[in-house]
Amino acid sequence: MKLFCDLTELPAELRGGAVAIGNFDGVHWGHARIVERLKAAASSVAGPAIVFTFDPHPVRILRPAEAPPPLTWTDRKAELLAELNVDAVIAYPTDEALLALTPIEFFDTIVRDRLGARALVEGPNFRFGRARAGTIDVLRQLATAASMTLAVVEPVMAGGAAVSSSRVRRLVAEGKITEANALLTKPYRIRGLVVHGVGRGIKIGFPTANVDGIDTLLPGPGVYAGNVTVEGLARPAAINIGPNPTFGEHAWKVEVHVVDWHGPLYGLVLEVDFLARLRDIQRFENVEQLRQQLLIDVESTRRTQANSGVV
């Protein structure tokens, strides 16, 4: 699978196939269903299966104050889509010129001319073009006129509601990681740079990596079980998100204790998977009470990772 950001670099063998256009934020099971239909459509026209996404999300250009925090960064999104076996992902640079294209202009310029699409696969609520004026019915008319096929894929339902990025985003923000992960093709992940903290953790036997510069949605405050990959191995990690009331600190931090890891992490970019929420943030009467709870958290983290099948 290849990731492209410039359509002028798209080789001839990646033109003339099936295309799915959308944000694909988080890559959930609804997206996976679209990709399955995409691969079938690509096979029917003997061409590649291409996912066309926008970088950044158009709302970040049009209404930045309303833009939701993303669930995935571009490379992670491409990685998740690669695991679903698409042939290429195009993360097209979103700018005002692109967003100014009418539905017909977008179709003619991007879909037909630059991608040479012969088949399209979309969800029923797909909108495109300036002011989102292009509906799925408009797309069907344009595709028919251009001798392209269009498959409209119904949403995946779970718990009586459609699986969607907005639903996943709400669950993550509420700290309902188990529920969010059930909708995603892979556990929810964040990334950030390990920076220096105040060094309290190492003094009580639980060194933590302070992770900063996170550019995706943070789960709600709490203590979580997860894992990180260090030196090529997935290691269990207990993750604290929120303030540290035991020490009178109110600022939110992301602190990651990598279980059984004693080497340096400063300056590394850590990618952290969330597997389960263990408990709320608590204020302890003294450091010993905190230390005893951390022992429990670490054992819970070990069990959670072992039961997750991560190796």
Give per-residue pLDDT as tens, 52-103.
Answer: 999 999 999 999 999 999 999 999 999 999 999 999 999 999 999 999 999 9
Q: Report the C-alpha gap between 294 and 131 in whole angstroms.
A: 51
Q: Say whether both 208 and 122 belong to one domain.
A: no
HSE, CB side, 13 Å, CA atoms: give it for residue 208: 21
- Residue 100's contacts (CB-CB under 8 Å, 6 or more residues apart) are 130
The residue count of the chain comes to 311
Element (H, E) at 81: helix 74-83
Q: What long-range pairs does 160-165 form, CB within 8 A, spacing at least 24?
A: 162/30, 163/28, 163/29, 163/30, 164/28, 164/30, 165/23, 165/25, 165/26, 165/28, 165/71
Measured over the CA atoms of residue 233, residue 234, residue 240 and residue 246, the dihedral's sign is negative
Measured over the CA atoms of residue 209, residue 211, residue 217 and residue 222, the dihedral's sign is positive
Q: Say whether both 156 and 272 belong to one domain.
A: no
Q: Say whether both 45 and 146 belong to one domain.
A: yes
For the chain, what is the domain count?
2
Q: What's the average model confidence in pLDDT over 304-308?
A: 89
Domain CATH for 32: 3.40.50.620
- Single pTM value for the model: 0.94
* Residue-range definition of the domain harbouring residue 109: 2-161
- Per-residue pLDDT of 109-144, as tens digits, reads 999 999 999 999 999 999 999 999 999 999 999 999
- Strands 209-212, 189-195: pairing kind: antiparallel
Domain boundary among 161, 195, 223: 161
Q: What is the CA radius of gyration of the chain?
A: 22
Kindly state whether residue 278 falls inside one of the protein's structural domains. Answer: yes
Q: Say whether both 144 and 20 belong to one domain.
A: yes
Kindly state whether residue 121 falls inside one of the protein's structural domains. Answer: yes
Token pair recorded at residue 226 = 């997860």
